[in-house]
A and B are shown apart, each in its own frame.
Chain A
Amino acid sequence: MGAIRTVFVKEFLENLRDRRSVMTAFVIGPVLMPLLFGVMTQSMVKRARAEPDSDLVLATLNAAAAPQLRDYLAAHGVTLRDFAGDEQAARDAVSHHDEKLVLQIPADHAQRWASGEPAPVVMFVDKSNTDDGRKVERVQELLQNYARGISGQRLLLRGIDPALLAPQPVQEIDVSTPTSRSVLVLGMLSFFLTLAMMSGGIYLAIDITAGERERGTLEPLLTLPVTRDSLLIGKLLTTCAYMALSLSLTTIGFFVAMSRIGLEALGMSARLDPWTALAVIGIALPLVPVGAGLLTLVASFTRSVREAQAWVGAVQLLPTMPLVFVTMANLAPRTALMAVPSLSQHFLILKLLRAEDIAPLDVALSAGCSVLLGGLLMAAAARIYRRDSLLS
């Protein structure tokens, strides 16, 4: 026990002095990830909050040729403004983002309109600029509605019921509640948490074998009257501690970020009180031994720090794979799936945030299976650590 504690204390302090360990464990996950998430979601919120109907100013070319359309748009709250320049100038203005949208009425529009022929109008838009998507959509909608109204009138004049043109109208009923709508955004939380937890342990896991071997400290360490198992346990415990700290701090960071953004503006709501944050940490913690065991096992195989970094960099994504899979396959939570580490944590965290009931059996299954897998991975790492060839 004494040796395990000595190793733990030394590794913990030594890595606190290492800038890379501190950066990956305590800055990237807990600070940078929530910040990035916050900025991204904030811009979504901002766009949702902006009221597109209030200040829709539309630049037009040759609007005088379609006075009825002009009146219709004006009546629906669009302020029309003449665009100074020709067609090429309009095209350039949109592509250089000077104008968001220019509506052009071709010269022969009035004549075609009067004779009942199709009379197209031209809209210059830049679809790569997603910020203006809502505005473009709204102008398109108005133009379509106008055209539909006109065609209805024309059919009526010829004695045809316009309803014939709409044999199957679609009625959309949105059943999502604010909480269930948050799933998309909140579903990313478990992904970020898993990633932050893994990166918190990376440098320690590499340090355990490849790092010690490369620095030449492993050889004298193994000649001490201490079993290799206790050395490894001490190191694994340090790795777990860093990962758990990183995970907890990142959770807190995300809760602070999410409660500041105001998800209601996106039509979402989530339970973001401190008790829920604690519960999320509690649900996620059993995943720590899985991560620590996995990273250590892989780092034990490698011969150098460089090789370990390459491997571990890839392996750290492994626990996020079930999350990617569940999103693609659109799996619903089931008791059987609670046996899958990382997936079960993802489901349980979502339920927590959505304020849904959680079955104690699910929690026990999730924690039990994760700890078991973690133990197996650690035992495998210990087997490698006992080999003679560890040093060469």
Chain B
Amino acid sequence: MIEARQLCKRYGTVTAVRDLSFSAADGRITGLLGPNGAGKSTTLRMLQTLLRPDSGEAFIDGIAAGTDPLAARARIGVLPHSAGLYGSLSARENIVYFGQLSGLSRLQARARAAQLIALLEIEEFADRRAKGFSQGQKLKTALARALVNEPRNLMLDEPTNGLDVPSVRKLRAVLQQLRHDGHCILFSSHVMHEVAALCDDIVVIHQGCVVACGSPEQLLARTGTVDLEQAFVQLTEQAGAL
């Protein structure tokens, strides 16, 4: 369960996020949808305890991220925008390193890494150095790394950027499996059909504010459209006019 309560963040004179509240429930995939520069990444970073909000608070499974960041972090797995890996380490070593830093023993981390390598079908390149990995290989390794401490909550920042169709499908399958297992999944995107294909709930962000939230059906009903993309455009335009 991930919750944002009235988050505000300013960079100098620019307000990136303003009074932003929403919650993402367990066993559901929640999409954070918004055009570029809407404040998605800033919001995610506050939820991941990387940024301190100017006001408001982020909660992970009810734990205030600002007061107990370490406990909050122990409950999240993060797949960042760039899916950066240590190039001189193999995929397996990248995963084990994060496992150990999450508090697993070396043996536990190795066992868990082997499990994830099988689950994500990355045996083929698991012991190659990450330096020359393709975008898809990088993403799968980074996803395994995010899942190494079996977090209840998973946050992904534009995970499908630059991925080919088979990789996107694999990612979707894994996320659906995680949802089935009761995880809370929050992911940001500016691609409408991506969100439509996966999400149970959608939070539409524009200029740092939540302009709408609900299931895809609810959003369609609210805008009176049959197409989600049309609904998205209408919602952000309405917000822009206000």
Give chain A nearest CB distance to B107 CB in angstroms: 13
Chain B, Cβ-Cβ closest to A218: B84
Query: Is there a chain B Cβ closer than 8 Å to A140's Cβ?
Result: no
User: Per-position contact with A for B5-35: 1 when CB-CB < 8 Å, else 0?
Assistant: 0000000000000000000000000000000
Give chain A nearest CB distance to B50 CB in angstroms: 6
Give chain A nearest CB distance to B102 CB in angstroms: 6
- Residues in A with CB closer than 8 Å to B51 are 388, 391
User: Per-position contact with A for B66-101: 1 when CB-CB < 8 Å, else 0?
Assistant: 000011011010111111111111000100011011
Chain B, Cβ-Cβ closest to A230: B101
- A217 and B85 contact, CB distance less than 8 A: yes
- A222 and B50 contact, CB distance less than 8 A: yes
- Residues in A with CB closer than 8 Å to B189 are none
- A225 and B84 contact, CB distance less than 8 A: no
- Residues in B with CB closer than 8 Å to A226 are 70, 101
Number of A-B contacts (CB under 8 A): 75
- Residues in B with CB closer than 8 Å to A7 are 101
Provided the pairs A216-B80, A216-B82, A217-B84 are in contact, do residues A225 and B70 lie with their beta carbons within 8 angstroms? yes
Give chain B nearest CB distance to A12 CB in angstroms: 12
Q: How far is the CA of A7 from the CA of B102 in the complex (A)?
A: 12
- Residues in A with CB closer than 8 Å to B49 are 223
Selected contact of B84 from candidates A3, A15, A219, A224, CB within 8 Å: A219
* Interface set, chain B 129-164, CB cutoff 8 A to A: 129, 142, 145-146, 149
User: Per-position contact with B for A14-34: 1 when CB-CB < 8 Å, else 0?
Assistant: 110110000000000000000
Q: How far is the CA of A223 from the CA of B73 in the complex (A)?
A: 6
Selected contact of B86 from candidates A14, A222, A225, A391, CB within 8 Å: A14
- Residues in A with CB closer than 8 Å to B82 are 216, 219
* Interface set, chain A 156-190, CB cutoff 8 A to B: none
How many A residues have CB within 8 A of the partner chain? 24
Query: Is there a chain B Cβ closer than 8 Å to A227's Cβ?
Result: yes
- B50 and A391 contact, CB distance less than 8 A: yes
Selected contact of A224 from candidates B52, B101, B142, CB within 8 Å: B101
Give chain A nearest CB distance to B8 CB in angstroms: 14
Query: Is there a chain B Cβ closer than 8 Å to A76's Cβ?
Result: no
- B80 and A3 contact, CB distance less than 8 A: no
Q: How far is the CA of A391 from the CA of B45 in the complex (A)?
A: 10
Selected contact of B102 from candidates A15, A17, A217, A224, CB within 8 Å: A224
Query: Is there a chain B Cβ closer than 8 Å to A85's Cβ?
Result: no
- A223 and B76 contact, CB distance less than 8 A: yes
Query: Is there a chain B Cβ closer than 8 Å to A360's Cβ?
Result: no
How many B residues have CB within 8 A of the partner chain? 35
Query: Is there a chain A Cβ closer than 8 Å to B48's Cβ?
Result: yes
Interface of A is mostly: helix
Selected contact of B74 from candidates A17, A216, A225, CB within 8 Å: A225
- Residues in B with CB closer than 8 Å to A388 are 50-52
Query: Is there a chain B Cβ closer than 8 Å to A220's Cβ?
Result: yes
Provided the pairs A225-B71, A391-B45 are in contact, do residues A216 and B102 lie with their beta carbons within 8 angstroms? no
- Residues in B with CB closer than 8 Å to A222 are 50
Give chain A nearest CB distance to B133 CB in angstroms: 12
Q: How far is the CA of A218 from the CA of B82 in the complex (A)?
A: 11
- B86 and A217 contact, CB distance less than 8 A: yes
Give chain B nearest CB distance to A29 CB in angstroms: 22
User: Per-position contact with B for A277-309: 1 when CB-CB < 8 Å, else 0?
Assistant: 000000000000000000000000000000000
Query: Is there a chain A Cβ closer than 8 Å to B103's Cβ?
Result: yes
* Interface set, chain A 61-114, CB cutoff 8 A to B: none
Query: Is there a chain B Cβ closer than 8 Å to A10's Cβ?
Result: yes
Residues of A within 8 A of B (CB): 2-3, 6-7, 10, 14-15, 17-18, 215-227, 388, 391
Residues of B within 8 A of A (CB): 45, 48-52, 70-71, 73-74, 76, 78-89, 93, 97-98, 100-103, 129, 142, 145-146, 149
Q: Apart from A6-B100, A227-B70, A388-B51, what are 19 other A-B pairs with CB-CB below 8 Å?
A: A7-B101, A10-B89, A14-B89, A17-B88, A18-B88, A216-B80, A216-B82, A218-B84, A219-B78, A219-B84, A220-B142, A221-B98, A224-B98, A224-B102, A225-B71, A225-B73, A225-B101, A226-B101, A388-B52
